[in-house]
Amino acid sequence: ILNVEQSPQSLHVQEGDSTNFTCSFPSSNFYALHWYRWETAKSPEALFVMTLNGDEKKKGRISATLNTKEGYSYLYIKGSQPEDSATYLCAPGDSNSGYALNFGKGTSLLVTP
């Protein structure tokens, strides 16, 4: 099971600010990288699944990049809104762990008006 690090642990920004967080993972045997958003009182929901080095995915104001050679992914939120407040989780999958997804502890984002 991969060791996953997410930073920062928490983040507090003002509405309209842009922000980004990092997910670091061992680069060997990498297969895929997932990002999930977990809002309070709801279930985690998938944002992106990325597999290729240099991949960039976008969903509205949220985008993510992937560097499999150095083992990191960035998640960007442009013009943060209060509804973006959530915990953002990443989970890499690798062939050695039988493709199980092991999550990082997440970045908790609070966006205030």
Partner 1 sequence: KAGVTQTPRYLIKTRGQQVTLSCSPISGHRSVSWYQQTPGQGLQFLFEYFSETQRNKGNFPGRFSGRQFSNSRSEMNVSTLELGDSALYLCASRQGTASNEKLFFGSGTQLSVL
Residues that bind partner 1 in the complex, under the rule CB under 8 A: 1, 31-32, 34, 36, 42-46, 49, 51, 89, 91, 93-95, 97-106
Burial of 89 (0-12, 13-18, 19+ CB in 10 A): buried
What is the closest distance, in whole angstroms, from the C-beta atom of residue 17 to partner 1 in the complex?
A: 25
Which is closer to partner 1, CB of 14 or CB of 52?
Answer: 52
| Angstrom distance (rounded) from CA 84 to CA 105 | 18
Structural tokens at position 65: 């990049």
- Toward partner 1, which CB reaches closer, 29 or 112? 29
Q: How far is the CB of 30 from partner 1 (least distance, A)?
A: 9
* Closest approach of partner 1 to the CB of residue 104, in Å: 6
Q: Which helix (H) or strand (E) segment is 31 a member of?
A: strand 30-38
Chain centroid to Cα 65, Å, comes to 9
